[in-house]
Amino acid sequence: KKEAKEKTLTMLKLVEIPEPSRRFKEYPHQMSGGMRQRVMIAMALSCNPELLIADEPTTALDVTIQAQILDLISKLQKEFRTSVLIITHDLGVIAEMADRVIVVYAGKAIESANVRDIFRNPRHPYTRGLLESLPRLDMDREVKLEVIKGMVPDALSFPAGCRFHPRCSFVKKKCKTKEPALVDAIDGHQVRCWRHDEI
């Protein structure tokens, strides 16, 4: 029991929880969202995993705390020599944290590439639509942001062919009937689209 407490206090210090010996006795509702997230990271790393899966690690945290949590994950990744898989819808987090990105649509990986290629040269219409829907600092304020038309399909009845075809501006007849495979487009950039060469 003493050894477990010592290990817990060590982990709480590692994730920069102030006054770990006092916080050790607290319940989750007595901590802020950022502190609860730090405790979760400490719990996950206590077993020295080869892979840390962080599912929406910054959701519901303010911008300052988000930055602290991302910095902490980066620091601990190096310290523990662990790989980190971040699941997020926040493209800012992806740009800051990722080396490689897998874009998923309706449960399927539709594009995979290094982070720079995803942002500079998206090859799938969905990825392109996501990036075009984001405001940028260099953008004229009068320019309207792009919108991906339609709705995400019902998980119980995905459309035939490419799952994105009902929303796609590049759709052709083949897209509606035959599902494309995830193929190598160029230099480790993989894409699941019949028309990736034209995008």
Q: Phi/psi at 114 (nearest 5 deg)?
A: -70, 155
Total domain count, the chain:
2
CB 114: neighbour CB atoms within 10 A? 15
User: What pLDDT sits at residue 109?
Assistant: 98
Domain C-terminal end among 98, 121, 152:
98
Return the ∠ at Cα 74 (arms to 80 and 41), rounded to 5°.
Answer: 65
By residue range, what is the domain housing residue 183? 100-198
- Domain shared by 17 and 89, yes or no: yes
Q: How far apart are CA 158 and CA 90, in angstroms?
A: 25
Q: What is the pLDDT along the chain (199 residues), one digit of tens a residue?
A: 899 999 999 999 999 999 999 999 999 999 999 999 999 999 999 999 999 999 999 888 889 999 999 999 999 999 999 999 999 999 999 999 999 999 999 999 999 999 999 999 999 999 999 999 988 777 777 778 889 999 999 999 999 999 999 999 999 999 999 999 999 998 899 999 999 999 8
User: What pLDDT sits at residue 177?
Assistant: 98
- Domain shared by 66 and 79, yes or no: yes
Q: What is the CATH number of the domain that holds 15?
A: 3.40.50.300
User: What pLDDT sits at residue 12?
Assistant: 94
- Domain shared by 36 and 115, yes or no: no
Element (H, E) at 175: helix 173-177
Q: How far apart are CA 128 and CA 169, in angstroms?
A: 11
- Domain shared by 180 and 111, yes or no: yes
Domain C-terminal end among 34, 65, 98:
98
Domain C-terminal end among 73, 98, 123:
98
- Domain shared by 126 and 146, yes or no: yes
User: What pLDDT sits at residue 94?
Assistant: 96
Helix axis angle for 33-45 and 63-80, nearest 10°, is: 10
